[in-house]
Amino acid sequence: MKLTLKIWKQQDAHSKGKFVTYSLDSISPNCSFLEMLDILNEQLIRKNEEPVAFDHDCREGICGTCSLYINGRPHGPDDAITTCQLHMRKFKDGDTIIIEPWRAKPFPVVKDLIVDRAAFDKIIQEGGYISVNTGGAAEANQILVSKVNAELSMDAAACIGCGACVAACKNASAMLFVSAKVSHFALLPQGKIEAKDRVKKMVAMMDQLGFGNCTNTYACEAECPKLISRSNIARMNREFICAKVS
């Protein structure tokens, strides 16, 4: 495949960025998107040019590190996958591919296509955990959990915190991410104990960090590689209202 790449290049958060155009030849359709970028970088290094900085780690759709906005969509033109799971067969020979970093005030650009998503960590630190004393593992059936809630909680826990929800949202809202974390715990008996405090603190941090307000356009749900449902947002709203009025 022959490709033209327009890639956002930016030295750091404070400098002005711009698109740089690269041409690539002989790319296999079986190549993954990140492998294609590896090939580009190898060629750039050989030419003594600066490679393109992009985030990645597991390359298996698990860690949520890869984060590219490809031709107007977070994680590219396929549904329910991360950028590392995207393959070049999704593009056509001769295509121009435009790659940008996630754009949101709380996600400043570190370099080129890499953004700092520490904002998500700060939200998690506000309550995305349960407080338990260490000790011997309890009998698994001591606290019963309904099958439905266990499933819903596991679905919410599938969130890998990649930030595609923020990247896709027209308001750069983090509601899907925060609601997944809130739901994950609120659905389980162990998480219920701190549920009220958790939702209030996590929402307060989300607001403080400068994420936008959800307007229920559901772009987050449409682009989530882990298919986190909008119903988590409704659950978080419910949890929040109950926490505030009780």
Partner 1 sequence: MNSSFLHFSSITKKVWMALLGLFLMVFLVVHLGINLCLLRDDGGRWFRDAAHFMGTNYIIKVFEVILFGGFILHVLIGIILQIKNWFSRPVRYKISNKTTTPFLSKYMIYTGAIVLTFLIIHLFNFYFIKYGWVTSPVSPLEGGEPDFAAVARSLFGQPVYSAIYIVLIICLGFHLYHAFQSGFQTLGLDHKTYTPYITGFGIFYSIVIPLGFIIIPIYFLI
Q: Which does 212 bind (CB under 5 to 8 A by kind): partner 1, ligand FES, none?
A: partner 1
Minimum Å distance from CB 70 to partner 1? 9
Q: Whole-angstrom Cα distance, residue 11 to residue 223?
A: 28
Q: Whole-angstrom Cα distance, residue 79 to residue 222?
A: 8
Q: Whole-angstrom Cα distance, residue 9 to residue 32?
A: 21
Residue from 43, 149, 153, 217 touching partner 1 (CB under 8 A): that is 217
Q: Whole-angstrom Cα distance, residue 110 to residue 159?
A: 23
Helices (H), the chain: 33-46, 118-125, 147-157, 164-168, 175-186, 189-192, 195-208, 219-223, 231-245
Amino acid identity at 21: T
Q: Which does 57 bind (CB under 5 to 8 A by kind): partner 1, ligand FES, none?
A: ligand FES
Identify the residue whose tokens are 């260490």: 134
117 scored as a contact of ligand FES (CB under 6 A): no
Structure tokens at 78: 């396929």
Residue from 212, 225, 226, 228 touching partner 1 (CB under 8 A): that is 212
Structure letter (DSSP) for residue 194: T
Q: Which does 213 bind (CB under 5 to 8 A by kind): partner 1, ligand FES, none?
A: partner 1
Q: Which is nearer to ligand FES, 86 or 123 (CB)?
A: 86
Minimum Å distance from CB 2 to ligand FES? 26
Taken as a whole, the chain contains a residue count of 246
Q: Which is nearer to partner 1, 189 or 210 (CB)?
A: 210
Question: Count of residues binding ligand FES (CB under 6 A)?
Answer: 13
Q: Which does 62 bind (CB under 5 to 8 A by kind): partner 1, ligand FES, none?
A: ligand FES
Asked whether the beta carbons of 12 and 109 are under 8 A apart, the reply is: yes
Minimum Å distance from CB 108 to ligand FES? 20
| Sign of the Cα pseudo-torsion (86, 61, 183, 194, in order) | negative
Amino acid identity at 110: V
19 scored as a contact of partner 1 (CB under 8 A): yes
115 scored as a contact of ligand FES (CB under 6 A): no
Interface residue list for ligand FES (CB under 6 A): 56-59, 61-66, 82-84
Which residues form the interface with partner 1 (CB under 8 A)? 8, 19, 69, 71-74, 98, 100, 103-106, 168, 170-173, 203-204, 206-207, 210-219, 222-223, 230-231, 233-241, 244
